[in-house]
Structure 1
Amino acid sequence: MIDRRVTAPQTHDPDDVSSAITGSHAPGRSRDPRVGVAARPHPSRCLEHRAGATVVMYSSDISPRENDMASHSAISPHEAADRLAIRELIDAYAHCADRRDAKGQMALFTSDTRFLVFMDATAAEPTQELHGRVSLAPVFDNLNTYETTTHFNGQSTVSLDGDRATAESYCLAHHLSVDGDGQRSLMIASIRYLDEFVKQDGGWLFAERRLMVDWTETRPSVA
């Protein structure tokens, strides 16, 4: 198995302190209201047709985490290094997905990881739930059904608690398909990842990842 754990960069000068946004956290393994918890069911699901494209939109009643976005203070080099390592872990997942590196992608997770997929982010129960690193192989291999993919990561918020952390990150995932007649179609999924991380042997890994699909759009694609 390839060791894909992302380790925090070494820091030397304790006075080299940068200023950044810091997130609030609860002690132990408790989560904030949005991280690791499915959005509450909502009656609104809109199917819209526009110019040959099909857009599926889901609405959620979860409000932003005020504490994570309002607390600004100086942080230590150690915390800055951990935050950088976690962001690199999130980006490594997208890179491995688009490069079809299933083994590398699996190595980003703990051996007893949990992976949950919510194709409708407002659903109370996941569409798919997997336990253990080995169980992830079929999910990641499924990307081979597409001609190509591009996972474009956006904003993220991270809350640290010693050797554990939680995060919410956004991604626009583009999936290009080509049928037997050469017709191309593009499916775009707006995804939020609700993650739990653990630091093992100096490197950060996914302990749990919840993939929440907020909306999808499918349309013809011209080469």
Structure 2
Amino acid sequence: MSLETLLAKDAIRDLVLRYCRAIDRRDYGALAALYHEDATDDHSPMYCGSAAGYLEWLPSMLETMTVTSHMVQNHLIEVDGQRAEGEVVMVSYHLTQDENGNDIEIIIGGRYLDKYECRDGVWRFSHRKIVMDWNQIQESTCQWDSPMVEGTPVGSRCEQDPAHTFFDLLRFSRSH
């Protein structure tokens, strides 16, 4: 495997990790920078269309969620010059409320089917499609007031997140 291919794969893995962080921290400026202008995103049946449209739709969906956590696992990547494809195994956790106002957890196991392109030396998504392999929907088991977790910093959005003041290098975008 060539050094160029290894560097491409590393850049693509970084792209996918930055997507997870941007979604979970609601950093919409950072998220927009991960897609090419003509990219598409397929989160059917909730959304399917341009990535720009996905980025417009996404805040209304995420506002219904108290917490999200997107985790990636296996990531298979095939590079062919300035384009690549990847299959990313993922688990996403969503804490939200049901129609009666009760906290529920939606846990989805699946895959991102990605197409990437390198333009002007930068790898970005050209197409992303989510596939669900399994799910678990249940009453929330979160115990925010348990003595085991009491006082632990809790993740939040952009400037409110503990990472905002902790990091010097790993910053949030300026436009969200």
TM norm. shorter chain > 0.5: yes
**Structure 1: which 5+ residue stretches go unaligned?**
1-74, 120-126
Q: Which has the larger radius of gyration?
A: 1
Which of 103, 108, 122 aligns to 2:34? It is 108
Matched, 1:91 2:10: no
SS of equivalent to 2:73: strand
Q: Distance in 2 between matches of 1:128 and 1:149?
A: 18
Residue 139 of structure 1, CA deviation: 3.4
Percent identical among aligned pairs is 28
Conserved 8 A contact 1:177-1:186: yes
Give the alignment's TM-score, normalised by structure 2: 0.73
CA RMSD of aligned residues (A): 1.9
Mapped to 2, the partners of 1:178 and 1:220 lie a distance apart of: 9
Question: Normalising by the residue count of structure 1, what TM-score does the alignment of the two structures yield?
Answer: 0.59
Alignment-derived partner of residue 198 in structure 1: 117
Task: Tell me the SS of whatever aligns to 1:145.
Answer: coil
2:85 & 2:14 partners in 1: Cα distance? 14
CA distance in 2, matches of 1:185, 1:215: 17
Kindly state the Cα deviation for residue 80 of structure 1 after the two structures are TM-superposed. Answer: 1.1
Residue segments in structure 2 that go unaligned for 5+ positions in a row: 144-176
Matches within 5 A, 1:30-179: 75-118=1-44, 128-131=47-50, 133-141=51-59, 142-178=61-97
- Whether 1:214 and 2:140 are equivalent positions in the alignment is no
Matched pairs, number: 141
Shift of 1:181: 8.0
Moved over 3 A (4+): 178-183
